[in-house]
Copies of this chain bind each other. A is one copy, B any other.
Amino acid sequence: MRSVDEMFLWNCWYAAAWEHELEGGVKLARTFLEKPVVIYQGDSGDYVALDDRCCHRAAPLSMGRVEGDCIRCMYHGMKYGPDGVCIEIPGQDTIGPNHRVRRYPIVSKGNLLWIWMGDPELADPDEIHDFAPLSDSNWRGFEKESYLHYDANWLLIVDNLADFSHLAFVHTNTLGGSEDYAFVTHPEVDKHDDGFSIVRWSRNDAPAPYHLKVNPDAPAKVDRRNTVRMHTPGLFFMETLFAPVGWNADGDDFEGVKQYRNCQYMTPETRTTTHFFWNYLHNYRLDDPAVSASLQASLLEGFMEDKVIIEAQQKLLEMEDPFAPRGLAGDVSLAHFRRVWEGMIRTERETYPGVERKVGNPLL
């Protein structure tokens, strides 16, 4: 296992929580990149992310009490502002410059909270990859967006999303359709400096079961197109459409075409566990809540099929018996992503030496 220095990228935005996870005054204790964080919404409506350990003796601030935008440790009563600076110590008049906890920049965009685990001075909210459909009224997503916890390294999930031929075998009865998807269709891959994109046509094939569930009158054969964009540090966006067989993708006739937009965000909790956030939006029958409810159930069913395999992979890779992976032609996307990722970590280590040690140190 590599050291923590070589595993994580610090200076970037990670998906941290859906807004609805903070509702009702929840003080969310969540670990990112092996660092414990408390997230809460202050009375002003602003979100705050702090080291979850009171600077005194590491008592969890997530068991504390929100007061305005501040939080009070409910062990000995130290009160911190949203910037992590201690502003009150019961029974003590002076507060030293060390009496503070690390603050993590946190920003809400499209119902999702994004956290910056690296040098706060470099955090620019404009760099967050906004997923437009999340705030576009032409698209309808889940009533409450979804979260899953994986007992697996996040790169195994990226691998999964980098080769959709697995739809044929893992998701035959849910998100896939027939095994032709692996045997017949081929991805067109574009490599980017920050990830990859893929277009994959499946023509004249049965519609996917999850689509059929909400469109029981769909024709027996359809053309299906998945357009994927994967960004570091684990942001996945996909456009999916089901169209009449022979549909002209270059034209502007969308008669009979049904579309979906999908986002999936992977954030390392630890080297062996991952936070996974996702939504799946549609652009038809927008006034019918049953559509998104069905899609949420179907997608969850499919993602659980992935989860059982990916978590099994993690266990099999953790065994002492060494394993050397053998490449396939379909690995072009995942191999490129891992190269890009290694390069980014190397660059960060050169550009910001010791960044991973500065994190969590409130004095730096």
Residues of A within 8 A of B (CB): 4, 31, 34-36, 52-53, 55-60, 63, 72-78, 89-92, 96, 98-99, 156, 159, 163, 165-166, 168-170, 179, 182-186, 308-309, 312-313, 316-317, 319-323, 325-331, 360
Q: Note all chain B residues with C-beta closer than 8 A to A63.
A: 308-309, 312
Q: Note all chain B residues with C-beta closer than 8 A to A31.
A: 319
Q: Which of B74, B99, B325 contacts A58 (CB 8 A)?
A: B325
A101: nearest residue on chain B (CB-CB)?
A: B326
Q: Note all chain B residues with C-beta closer than 8 A to A159.
A: 57
Q: Note all chain B residues with C-beta closer than 8 A to A77.
A: 165, 168-169, 179, 182-183
Besides A56-B328, A60-B309, A63-B309, 14 more A-B contacts (Cβ < 8 Å) are A34-B321, A36-B316, A57-B159, A58-B325, A63-B308, A72-B169, A73-B169, A75-B166, A77-B182, A77-B183, A89-B329, A90-B179, A92-B330, A321-B360
Find out whether the CB atom of B325 lies under 8 angstroms from the CB atom of A165: no
Q: Note all chain B residues with C-beta closer than 8 A to A60.
A: 309, 312-313, 316
Query: What are 22 inter-chain pairs, A to B, with CB distance below 8 A?
Result: A34-B319, A34-B320, A35-B321, A36-B316, A36-B319, A53-B316, A53-B323, A56-B325, A56-B326, A58-B313, A58-B323, A63-B308, A74-B309, A76-B166, A76-B330, A77-B179, A77-B182, A91-B185, A91-B330, A92-B329, A92-B330, A99-B326
Q: Which of B170, B183, B330 contacts A74 (CB 8 A)?
A: B170
Find out whether the CB atom of A169 lies under 8 angstroms from the CB atom of B74: yes
Total copies of this chain within the assembly: 3
Secondary structure at the A interface, as helix, strand, loop or mixed, is loop
Q: Which 7 A-B pairs have the closest CB atoms?
A: A90-B182, A55-B326, A74-B169, A92-B329, A60-B312, A58-B316, A90-B183
Find out whether the CB atom of A169 lies under 8 angstroms from the CB atom of B328: no
Taking the closest CB of chain B, its distance from the CB of A34, in whole angstroms, is: 6
| Residue among A78, A185, A325, A328 facing the most chain B CB atoms (10 A cut-off) | A328
Q: Note all chain B residues with C-beta closer than 8 A to A316.
A: 36, 52-53, 58-60
Instruction: Please measure, in the bound complex, the distance between the C-alpha atom of A320 and the C-alpha atom of B359, giving whole angstroms.
Output: 12
Q: Note all chain B residues with C-beta closer than 8 A to A96.
A: 326
Find out whether the CB atom of A322 lies under 8 angstroms from the CB atom of B360: yes
Instruction: Please measure, in the bound complex, the distance between the C-alpha atom of A63 and the C-alpha atom of B320, giving whole angstroms.
Output: 21
Taking the closest CB of chain B, its distance from the CB of A324, in whole angstroms, is: 8
Find out whether the CB atom of A92 lies under 8 angstroms from the CB atom of B320: no
Instruction: Please measure, in the bound complex, the distance between the C-alpha atom of A159 and the C-alpha atom of B56, giving whole angstroms.
Output: 11
Q: Which of B92, B168, B319, B328 contacts A89 (CB 8 A)?
A: B328
| Residue among A35, A316, A331 facing the most chain B CB atoms (10 A cut-off) | A316
Q: Note all chain B residues with C-beta closer than 8 A to A57.
A: 156, 159, 313, 325
Taking the closest CB of chain B, its distance from the CB of A38, in whole angstroms, is: 11
Q: Which of B55, B165, B323, B325 contacts A76 (CB 8 A)?
A: B165
Instruction: Please measure, in the bound complex, the distance between the C-alpha atom of A169 and the C-alpha atom of B74, giving whole angstroms.
Output: 5
Instruction: Please measure, in the bound complex, the distance between the C-alpha atom of A58 and the C-alpha atom of B165, giving whole angstroms.
Output: 16
Find out whether the CB atom of A312 lies under 8 angstroms from the CB atom of B59: yes
